Structure formats: structure tokens, C-alpha cells
Chain A
Amino acid sequence: MTDQRSQAEIVRQSLKQRYRKERRFRAYGIAAIAVALAALVILFADIIGKGYAGFMKTTLTLDVQLDGEMMYLDDASDERQLKMADFVEPLVQALIKEVPSATESDRDAVRDLINPYASVTLRDALKANPEWLNTTRTMTFLAHTDVDVYVKHAGDEAYSIKLSEQQQAWVDQLQEQGVVETSFNDVFFENGDSRDPSKAGILGAVVGSLLTMFVTLILSFPIGVAAAIYLEEFAPQNKLTDFIEVNINNLAAVPSIIFGLLGLAVFINLFGMPRSVPVVGGLVLTLMTLPTIIISSRAAIKSVPPSIREAAEGIGASKMQVVLHHVLPLAMPGMLTGSIIGMAQALGETAPLLLIGMVAFIVDVPDGFFDSATVLPVQVFLWAGSPELAFIERASAAIMVLLTFLISMNALAIWMRKRLERRW
């Protein structure tokens, strides 16, 4: 009796300590989550804090007098004349008119407020509408990057303002007059890369990413699923299949740059495929994604209960019918989820693309699988390394676009799992 009581006593006495221990254990867990969340919050705050300005552009709205004599142009449909004509002068004149304090001697300082590519915009407008010659048009042009930086970041220590004090005064005045305005940066979504931050956009990289991902999906999904089905349903259990399984698991852990080296050696050097094209990028990323898809597809097939197979076999279905009519449809949600996660991984990959030449300055938006292209994370990498400070905000803005893609892909995977998953 006394023994038993003392045992209960011991338990009771230690209870407090055990509760304390448990509380401490929980606190550790909460602290761990807090650290992870804090890191995430800091990351997002930094990216959004830097990147929001990248979604704004600074423009000049000018009444441009398209005087043929000033431009040395008397027929805007003549290609040769268009090539030789001066499209800068009308812009400078229009801007000087808006700044009464500027005189002819300040023309260089005034010109430096206009984006160097504004003259190209004017040329293309005239090319498309030759009848505009010798009329006055109200048109909107991009401002110079220095003006853009000044308007967005005046007073910000991190940015050096390159405008002179006189130019700053003009810009302030023009802002009051409504000539200089900031608006949503549609240029960012309509253009390819550029060395001029105001003109740089991500469309080229987004299209490149989509083309590359399409090649990856169309190759890796069927191959991965076929491999998984064979290994799970048909392959005999022996040393060879064990060996294959070990290798597939190993491949999933191989650093991605190795796949880039392989791609360079096989696709480019051996098969003579061109550099920097989405097809080669897609092939390399296929190699990288395949193990992920095979492993997740095998897990999905394994989770289909054997009773389904047995029932199908029981009513006389062949092995192939069992697999195609019963196992595959039931395993499909799991396979798709695994594939989407594999694709999301591939979407964020830069290292293997470095070796096959997709880390490159490409201005034109690709329009096919054999056109030079780059991808979103590479664009981020290129801009982050640029000396121009205005590219930093573009890089952060591009990160936000990339994250949006990744989050929506992962959300789709979760939604499909919730929606299609069947519990047994």
C-alpha cells in the first residue's frame, strides 16, 4: 500500500515538471514557426518595398508639332527619308515650350529629360500614320530614367539623383503642370529586356518561361508517368529494378547545374541544337523534373488500394485494362500534384540554363521554340547585377511576378489535391 501511494506521489510530484516540459516544448515549436514567418515577412517586405516602384512609370505628355521642315521629312511613307529624319528635335521643341524658363541654350539639358527611345516611338507613330506630318499631336512619351528615379525617389539616400538642380526645378514645375506624370507601368509587361531601365520589361522572360515550361511538361509528364506505371505495375521485383529505383532517387538529389552540363554536352555539342533556345532549356529541365514526377507518381499509384485491382481482375479485365481504366484515373490527382510541384521547381531554376546560353541579353520577345529566349529568374539575376540603380526596383518587381506564378502553381496543386483526392 505504502509503495503504491508513494508511486502515485512521485507521479503527482513530477506532474508539474512534466507540464512545464511540455509547455517549453510547445514554445520551441512556436518560436521555430515565428522565426520562419519572420524570415518570410522580411523577405516579402524587402521585395515589395523595393519593387512597388517598378510597377510605376514616369511619362511626359507633350503637344508635338510634327513640322516636316524641322525633321527633314516631307514624305513620312518613304522608308529612306524616315531613316534620315530627325525625330529628337520636335520633342525637344515641345518640351522647351512647356518650360518657359528654359532657353535655346538649355536644349541639351532639356533633351536629357526625354527618354532616348522616345524618338523611336515618334518615328513608329509617323510610320504608321504618315498623314500626321505637319500637324500637332498630343502624345505621351517615356521620361528619361534619371527623371524617373528623381520623381520616384527624390530624398531617398539609396538612390543618387543624376539631374542637375536646374533640371530638378524643371521637373518639379512640369509635375505641377501635369506634363510629367507617373502611372501604371504597362511598358514593364509589354516589352522585352532593355539596357534602359524605363524601357525594360518582362514580357520576353515570361514568354520564354512559358515556352520552356511547355516543353518540360509535354516531355516530363508522359515519360514520368509511363516510367512510374511500369515500375509499379509491371516490373518484376529483382536486382535490376532495385538498381533503377536507387538511381532515380539519387537523380532527384543531383544539383541542377549537373543537368546543365549534361544538356550542353548532349543537346548542344552532340546533337548540334542551337544555344539559348526554349527547346534545349525545356529538355534540360525535363531531365531535372523527371525524378520528382516519377517518385510522386509511384507514390500515387501505390496509394490505390489493391482491392480495386483485384476487383477489376476478378471481372476479367486484362492487366492493361486494370491499369488504364482503374489505377491510372484514381492515381491521376496525386500524379498531377507531383508534376505541378516539379514544374514550379523548374520554373525557378537558373543554374542549368546558364550553361546552355539562356542567361543572355535578349531584347526581342521570342515567338517560337527555336527563338533565343531567357526565363523569369534569369531576368531577375541579370537586372540585379546591373550597375544602374533603377534596375534594382525592376528586379524586385520581376521577383513579385515570379512569386505570383509560383504561388498560383502551388495553390493549384493544393486545390487539385483537395478537390480530386479520394480517401479509402
Chain B
Amino acid sequence: MKLNKALAIAAVAGSVAAMSAPAMARDTISIVGSSTVYPFATVVAERFGTKTDYNTPKLESTGSGGGMKLFCQGIGTQHPDITNASRRMKPSEYDLCQKNGVKDITEFRIGSDGIVIASSNKADNLDITLEQLFLALGKEVPNPENEKELIPNPYKTWSEIDSGLPNVAIRVMGPPPTSGTRDSFNELALQGGCEDLPAVADMSEDDMEAVCQSIREDGAFIEAGENDNLIVQKLIDDEGMYGVFGYSFLEENADRLQAATLNGKVPTAEGIAADEYPVARSLFFYVKKAHVGVIPGMAEYVEEFVSPAAMGPNGYLKSVGLIVPPREALMNLQDKAADLPNLQKDELM
């Protein structure tokens, strides 16, 4: 008899679970997306939860691409409401959204993040161009004798690239390929320094990308895992080592580290916000308009995110390391939060 009862309970529980789920209404905002935006969005979510009577939004760190995929899967409570991204939505992702019925999307550019090359402040500081950076880290670089030909990277020390650079071995620690920081570093820094080289001038775009975004694998570039604390510790212990990470981390350790000058620009919060520093990227989040008004608190969450208390010059996001937009841009964001204008495809092209 015991068994019969147990079986019956199992059957009932199973069917209840299966039947009731799709009909469930959700009263918590669901947010997915970039791990770069995650530390900022979580702070906003928590403040929003304590300030208002709404539930605290739930955040998953899925990476920018993973977030877009989930976000564009459709309309309905089982799909997320907001996705964060450390890059702009791609036209192909926009098309996917449209195809799945996610027609009205509003885009918010919430600030910037710069990628820096740092070293211990006791070490020789670097003052290099992006081209020199590519020559130091690229897998295949132009032959110094014949600039049209690509050869495996022969440079062992910085001074071999340019006699003005320090005479120390090239050793750079950076994030692994799974990281969004690495994507941006490859795209903005390495490709930025490589795409104008004569050796890649005649290549198709795909081939050029393959050459420009390949990092050498002979030990000069060391993948350090996602733990930035570890890179900082290594840089302090080892003065010949250089490290690649986000600007906010440099700021945290400003008393122990110094940043390299890239294309004549020292990374500063202002320079990054104004897009003058060459390796700066913008951070975004995208709102699914069909869910506004259905999932309680969405409009209010967006409002909180772009409020002066969060993103103003003394806002709490600044204290966690976000490079906040200038005043005018913040005002635009607030207008956007009120109107929620639709994102158009040609904006992304």
C-alpha cells in the first residue's frame, strides 16, 4: 500500500509540475547577458529591490552573445526581459529577434569600459602604438625585410620592435578566449594595430580577421584565467610582466600599478568616456518592450539604472567602477527611459 501511495504522489506531483508551469505568471524581472555589465547591473538590481516594493530582479551572467540568444528567443514569461551586453547588438541578432516576434527593443548605452595594459609602477612603462602592440603579440607578423610576407612572430623583447621601447622580454598576461575582455582586446587593440599593415591589405575580411586576431602561442602571451586579482598579484611580484584587464581594475589598484600609453593616450575615465582612448568599448542593455507593463517593475528598474543616484557623477555605479556617461548623455538616457523608443536595424549597421 505504501508503494501505491508513493507512486500516486509522484504521478500527481509530476503532472502538476508539467501542467502549471507554462501558465505561471512571473513577477520578478529576469535579466541575462554580459559578465562585464553583471557587477553593475547586480548593484542596481539590489538597490532597486530595497528601494521599491518590487521583487529584486534575477540576473544571470551568460556573456553578451549568450544573452542575446536567450533574449531573442521570443515573447513570454519564460524568456528574459532585459539583456546586458559589452558590445552593440549585431544586425544578425536583431534579425533573430524580429523573426521570433521580439519586435520592439530599446537600447541603452550605459557607459564605457576601457581595456588597459598595465604593469607594476616600479617597472618600465610602455608608450606604444597599437601597431607595435600587434607586432609584440600577433601570432604571425610582417617580415621586417619584406613587409608583404607574414612570418611567425620573431620578436623576443620589446626593444627589438622599436629601440625606444624597454629592453625586456615580451611577457603579457591576459584573459582567456572565453572572456568578453579578450574579444574586445582582440578586436580593438590587435586588429586596430594590424588592419592597416600592407601584409593584410589585399586579404578578404575573414582572412584579415584571422591574422589580426590571432595571439602568439609561444609563451609570450600568458592566459591567466578570469581571475584579475591573480594578474595584479603577478604584476606586482614580477616587474617585467605586463597585464591586460579592464580599466576599473586599474583604478582599484592605482597605488600599485601604472598603465601603458597607447597611441599617445593614457587611459583616463574622461578619455574613455569620450572615446579618445583607442581601446574603449561601450556597455549596453536592451529592453524587451512587449514585457514592459506585463512584468511588474520593468519601467522602474530602467529608471533606477539611468537615475543620477546610480549613474550621476557621484552615483553608486561610479563607486563600483563604471565610467559614467557625461551629463548630456545621461539626460538623453532619461528621456529614453521615459519614451522607450524602438531600436531600428539601420542604427546597428
Q: Name the contact of B229 in the complex, choosing from A360, A361, A369, A387 (C-beta under 8 A).
A: A387
Whether A273 contacts B78 by the Cβ 8 Å rule is yes
Which residues in B have their C-beta under 8 angstroms from that of A225? 3, 6
Within 8 A of A (CB), among B38-55: 38-39, 42-43, 45-46, 49-50, 55
Q: Does B349 contact A (CB under 8 A)?
A: no
A336 to chain B, nearest CB (A): 13
Which residues in A have their C-beta under 8 angstroms from that of B10? 218-219, 222-223
Whether B60 contacts A219 by the Cβ 8 Å rule is no
Whether B78 contacts A272 by the Cβ 8 Å rule is yes
Which residues in B have their C-beta under 8 angstroms from that of A372? 28, 30, 58
Q: Name the contact of A274 in the complex, choosing from B49, B55, B56, B78 (C-beta under 8 A).
A: B78
Q: Does B155 contact A (CB under 8 A)?
A: no
Q: Name the contact of B21 in the complex, choosing from A195, A274, A359, A361 (C-beta under 8 A).
A: A274
Which residues in B have their C-beta under 8 angstroms from that of A370? 20-21, 24
Task: Please tell me the number of chain B residues within 8 Å of chain A, measured between CB atoms.
Answer: 44
The chain B residue sitting closest to A267, CB to CB, is B21
Q: Which stretch in B11-19, B96-104, B165-173, B286-294 binds the other chain? A: B11-19
A363 to B31, CA, bound (A): 13
Q: Mark A141-164, 1 if CB is under 8 A from B, else 0.
A: 000000000000000000000000
Which residues in A have their C-beta under 8 angstroms from that of B17? 215, 273, 279, 283, 369
Which residues in A have their C-beta under 8 angstroms from that of B22? 271-273
Within 8 A of A (CB), among B223-282: 226-229, 249, 252
Q: Name the contact of B9 in the complex, choosing from A196, A218, A276, A387 (C-beta under 8 A).
A: A218
Whether A221 contacts B39 by the Cβ 8 Å rule is no
Question: What number of A-B contacts does a CB cutoff of 8 Å give?
Answer: 103
Which residues in B have their C-beta under 8 angstroms from that of A196? 46
Would A275 and B30 be within 8 Å (CB), given that A362-B58, A363-B49 are in contact?
yes
A85 to chain B, nearest CB (A): 12
Q: Does B312 contact A (CB under 8 A)?
A: no
The chain A residue sitting closest to B19, CB to CB, is A271
Which residues in B have their C-beta under 8 angstroms from that of A349? none
Whether B9 contacts A195 by the Cβ 8 Å rule is no
Whether A195 contacts B60 by the Cβ 8 Å rule is no
Q: Does A328 contact B (CB under 8 A)?
A: yes
Would A218 and B21 be within 8 Å (CB), given that A324-B1, A363-B56 are in contact?
no
B312 to chain A, nearest CB (A): 16
Q: Does B156 contact A (CB under 8 A)?
A: no
B18 to chain A, nearest CB (A): 6
The chain B residue sitting closest to A392, CB to CB, is B229
Q: Does A364 contact B (CB under 8 A)?
A: yes
B50 to chain A, nearest CB (A): 5
Which residues in A have their C-beta under 8 angstroms from that of B210? none
Whether A221 contacts B6 by the Cβ 8 Å rule is yes
Task: Please tell me the number of chain A residues within 8 Å of chain B, measured between CB atoms.
Answer: 40
Q: Mark A276-299, 1 if CB is under 8 A from B, else 0.
A: 100100010000000000000000
The chain B residue sitting closest to A194, CB to CB, is B46
Whether A276 contacts B30 by the Cβ 8 Å rule is yes
Whether B45 contacts A361 by the Cβ 8 Å rule is yes
Which residues in A have their C-beta under 8 angstroms from that of B61? 359-361
A152 to chain B, nearest CB (A): 18
Whether A276 contacts B60 by the Cβ 8 Å rule is yes
Would A272 and B21 be within 8 Å (CB), given that A222-B7, A223-B10, A363-B45 are in contact?
yes
A117 to B43, CA, bound (A): 12
A270 to chain B, nearest CB (A): 10
Q: Does A268 contact B (CB under 8 A)?
A: yes
Whether B21 contacts A226 by the Cβ 8 Å rule is no
A339 to chain B, nearest CB (A): 12
Q: Does A385 contact B (CB under 8 A)?
A: yes
A18 to B39, CA, bound (A): 65
Which residues in A have their C-beta under 8 angstroms from that of B320? 195
Whether A275 contacts B45 by the Cβ 8 Å rule is no
Which residues in B have their C-beta under 8 angstroms from that of A130? none
The chain A residue sitting closest to B80, CB to CB, is A275
Which residues in B have their C-beta under 8 angstroms from that of A120? 50
Q: Mark B68-90, 1 if CB is under 8 A from A, else 0.
A: 00000000111010000000000
19 A-B Cβ contacts within 8 A?
A195-B320, A196-B46, A218-B13, A226-B7, A272-B76, A273-B22, A275-B30, A275-B78, A279-B21, A328-B2, A361-B38, A362-B58, A362-B59, A363-B45, A363-B56, A364-B55, A370-B21, A372-B28, A385-B227
Residues of B participating in the A interface, judged by any CB pair closer than 8 Å: 1-3, 6-7, 9-10, 13-14, 17-18, 20-22, 24, 26, 28, 30, 38-39, 42-43, 45-46, 49-50, 55-56, 58-61, 76-78, 80, 226-229, 249, 252, 316, 320
Residues of A participating in the B interface, judged by any CB pair closer than 8 Å: 116-117, 120, 194-196, 215, 218-219, 221-223, 225-226, 229, 268, 271-276, 279, 283, 324, 328, 357, 359-364, 369-372, 385, 387, 389
User: 8 tightest CB-CB pairs across the interface, nearest first?
Assistant: A363-B56, A273-B21, A361-B59, A222-B6, A222-B10, A272-B22, A360-B60, A372-B58
Q: A221-B6, A274-B21, A385-B227 are in contact. List 14 more A-B contacts (CB 8 A).
A: A195-B39, A219-B14, A222-B3, A272-B22, A273-B78, A275-B78, A279-B17, A360-B59, A360-B60, A361-B42, A361-B45, A364-B56, A372-B30, A387-B252
